Structure 1
Amino acid sequence: MGELLAGRVVVVTGAGSGIGRSEALEIARQGAKVVVADLGVALDGSPESGSAARAVVAEIADAGGEAIACQEDVGDWDGSKRIVDSAIDAFGGLDVIVNNAGILRDKMMFNMDEDDFDAVIRVHLKGTFSLTRWASIHWRGRHKAGLANDGRIINTCSPAGLYGSAGQANYSAAKAGIAAMTIGAARELGRYGVTANAISPVARTRMTATLGRGAATTEGDGWDPRSPDNVAPLVAWLASTESADVTGQVFEVGGGSVGVAEGWRHGPTADKGARWDPVELGPTVRKLVADAYQVPVPGGGANRRN
């Protein structure tokens, strides 16, 4: 077992499969005690066997690590508290939360119903907030008691949240909200010894399989650039004490690539110094758009940031 995370207690949600599973396994491999939190539902949130978390715990135990399973609903207010409590009860504390749980209900806007929208927002956005809220109460309480924290919040965003995605208005909105929430959490919780960062991963999971990206892409040397295992090393490092000076960032990660995503920033501006007349805005707006920074879109092309 590694030493990077020795003595750390880490909660990973959505850890029964895909990226969450890879994160949990790597975090345990680096010496942390892990709460494998996964409700065990289907991709759309419907009930399944619920055994995924226990299977990952067994993998960790077989490799010499220490972990427990927690099958709570992260989108449930009290369920999120029970996830935090399970870490404290089992391991005596909590150092890191990795918010990864999510579902998909992909539809075009004109076909998406209220439940499709609400269900995705509930798991991704509310679930990320709820777990963060209960963890931050724990860390704030320690701070008020004179105890030092070296806490970490690691959230999961998506290229869909950074750049938008057709047919995923609910998912894109949730992931964009998570990116913004991460920056807010970094500003709020720094005084309590807690950092907050997010990742925007590109990897093959059951979610990407719905988009036709499920095939393995193993290269001649046996390395698979699309494997979710490639995302886990960055998450493990962000969970460590070495990352204490890194906060409020969104990292793009996949294959062998790690990058920092640059968020919204002020672009070209025209100031008339008086109220605009609508009929004179056309040429001004078109020039502003033409001069604006263009955000690359995965798969080619660009969206103008305007």
Structure 2
Amino acid sequence: MMIRFHGLQQNIINSTFYPTFFILVGIPGLENEHKLISTSFCIFYILAVLGNITLLVVISATSGLHKPMFIFLSMLASNDILLSTSMAPKVLCILWFNDRLISFDSCLLQMFFIHSFTGIESGLLLAMAFDRYIAICHPLRYGSTMTNNLIGKLVIVLLVRAAVLVGPCIILIKRFPAFKTNIIEHSYCEHMAVVKLAAADIRINSALGLLVAFTILGVDLLFILISYAMIFNAVFSLPSKDSRLKAFNTCAPHICVFLRLYVLAIFSFLSHRYGKWIPPYIHIILSDMYLLVPPMLNPLVYGMKTKQIREQVWKSLLRYQRNSRH
């Protein structure tokens, strides 16, 4: 039997097969809104890339910002560029040009990058929470604790953790003997969206996905909450109101960022497994937003709430304005 799927033809047979490519459906049910959605996604992606590049340029060009907190922030900016780039271009190709095909290996590669960069993002937020904990709760030990050597080791741990946890998920999918279909009900190669297509027992894959999510998002979120609980306990014990306000203001951007990321991540993760009553297009849009909105807003949050970055950006704009006049 032959069916047409938005301009693509796919042979559907009763037996299973091993696909050489997948078909990404995009956002089913909202085909008439693709122009509006794609325009919004494109704006989000451009703002994410430009905003994070601005952060990287400002931090690298300003010697006064070569401190652990800003080093972690520059790593977060780099990761946000890679995370959004790993999914946004393909989603835009689907919405703009109806280019829904993706090769089997490219799909697995996209899956590895998306989930790895998500795990690294979570780990960097934990590292930044630890940095604020040492700075506020143990200020005299900050210089001896937050060394370049420690920062380097933390980055290596985050990279290895992402590869070790996400890699087996990809390998298990590669070892499936056959698939029931090659149509992915999503706009990018999300782990469970691909696993559900397999004509095999997927309990191990599902359990491994839960383990990875708990190990990365669950554990990181737990330690972040513990860190900020100890930070707030220390802040509220400060004798000066100005000192309490200053300490809270240094933590405010981090709190906004990690709340936004984890709320979207947890909702996306749970709705994909247990939210059968949620329309598919809502889940897919939220999954896309989860990968696009944090990278877009992070530079704005840190740029507006961090005085040193705000001042450097303002000085750069004034310098550019003066040069353009001459």
Q: TM-score, normalised by structure 1?
A: 0.29
Choose between structure 1 and 2: higher helix proportion.
Answer: 2
Larger C-alpha radius of gyration, 1 or 2?
2
Q: TM-score, normalised by structure 2?
A: 0.28
Choose between structure 1 and 2: higher strand proportion.
Answer: 1
